[in-house]
Amino acid sequence: MVWSRPRISLRAYDVGDPVYFVDDTGGEDWYIVTRINMLTTVFRRWDGQATLIANNIMAKKAIRNQWRSSRYLHHTMIAVSVDTPMEKLDQMKSGIAAGLRRGRHRHKHGLGGLLPDTVDFQIKGLTDGNRLSVFVLCQQRENSANMGRRFGNSSLFHKLLARECNRHGISYTLPAQPLVAQKVGEAEAFNVREAFLGGETGR
């Protein structure tokens, strides 16, 4: 009798994990894992767009899992007027970092462990022809295993962001999220679900 060594399969992500990988546009972007099926995985991109990717394709990609990293990234997307001066966005960034530095005496790692030098922003694109989608981010020293610390840091980060936007006269909104409403019967809804999932078993 020949004994074979058992194979251990470890997934690079679980449902709810924020991950980064190179998409079909050739650039790296971040997604939230929303569903893992037998043959496919459903991701939600930063703009709310759902993406279905075959697992055999994902197995060949380099994936960065934010929740399994040594640091956790807090981020949000805001839409600002296209004529917002870049200097104001730089002032917003500096103001958030300065707010964290002023409070460092309250915690040995800064306010809740947020790192002032990691505050940054990226312009992701143009929305509706008159608004810029701005991705604002900041890292915390600890990983996300401490849920209380993570939610506290997220609240603090968004509070400082709102304060600095108001302080520098930056008018902002959250990007519109896609919403599809359709009334279907139970049998039809089941058929639509089966067609989308391909009869796979999800988590």
Please, what's the largest Cα pairwise distance for the chain? 76
Write down the pTM of the prediction. Answer: 0.55
Nearest to 19 by CA among 32, 35, 34: 32
Distance CA 30, CA 44 (A): 9
Helical (H) or strand (E) element with 102: helix 86-102
Structural domains for the chain: 12-69 (2.30.30.140), 70-173 (3.30.70.100)
Local confidence band at 4 (pLDDT 50, 70, 90 cut-offs) = very low
Quote the CA–CA distance of 156 and 194 in Å, as a whole number.
42
Q: How confident is the model at residue 121 (pLDDT cuts 50, 70, 90)?
A: very high
Q: Which of 166, 164, 173 is nearest to 79 (CA)?
A: 173
The pLDDT tens digits of the residues spanning 134-189 come to 999 998 876 555 666 777 888 889 999 999 999 999 998 875 655 555 554 544 44
Condensed to tens digits (0 to 9), the pLDDT of residues 32-91 reads: 899 999 999 999 987 788 889 999 999 888 888 866 666 777 889 999 999 999 999 999
Amino acid 75: pLDDT? 86
Pick the residue with more confidence: 96 or 15? 96
The strand pair at 72-81 and 131-140 is best described as: antiparallel
CB atoms within 10 A of CB 128: 9
Q: Is the pLDDT of residue 7 over 80?
A: no
Confidence (pLDDT) at 193: 44
Q: What is the pLDDT of residues 90-116, one digit of tens each?
A: 999 999 999 988 865 454 444 457 889
